[in-house]
Amino acid sequence: MTADVLPFPSDARRPRRATEPAPGAAEGDRASTDPDVRLREVVGDVLRDERHRQGRTLADVARVAAVSLPYLSEIERGRKDVSSDVLGAVAGALDLRLLDVLERSVVRLRPRAQGGSGIQLMAA
């Protein structure tokens, strides 16, 4: 397969679909509205949402995590796959455990994986 045939080159993000929330939309929207969302995008959303919740800047978190500001920005935008070591460092800079980031990512992905609203009905 040639590079010009691939629908989503690894170094470029696909255009936002009409069904996707605009940047800055409510937490978790991208994962629940886009069936083609990538794990790295969801993880990036989790990190960015937590950084915003804490009122911190990219520069501050990048400094504490010992990663470059441009690299952290790319991670948050879902443009770069991140190693577990770097993800752990960024999570730690946000006072999160790696497990917290992964659990939040799973929560955002779960409704789509269940094929519906995420509501489960259980028989008694």
Give percent of the chain above pLDDT 90: 56
Output the average pLDDT for the chain. 76
Task: Return the higher-pLDDT residue of 30 and 53.
Answer: 53
Distance of alpha carbon 49 from the chain centroid: 9
Instruction: Using alpha carbons, list the distances in angstroms from residue 54 to 6, 21, 70, 109, 114.
Output: 38, 22, 20, 23, 31
Domain range annotation of the chain: 35-113
Per-residue pLDDT for 2 more than 70? no
Per-residue pLDDT for 15 more than 50? no
- Angle 80-28-7 from CA coordinates, rounded to 5°: 45
pLDDT digits 0-9 by tens, 60-96: 999 999 999 999 999 999 999 999 999 999 999 999 9
- Provide CATH code, domain 35-113: 1.10.260.40
| Whole-number Å distance between alpha carbons of 36 and 104 | 18
pLDDT digits 0-9 by tens, 54-66: 999 999 999 999 9
pLDDT band at residue 21, thresholds of 50, 70 and 90? very low
Burial class (CB in 10 A: 0-12, 13-18, 19+), 117: exposed
Q: What local confidence, expressed as pLDDT, does residue 89 receive?
A: 97
Its pTM stands at: 0.65
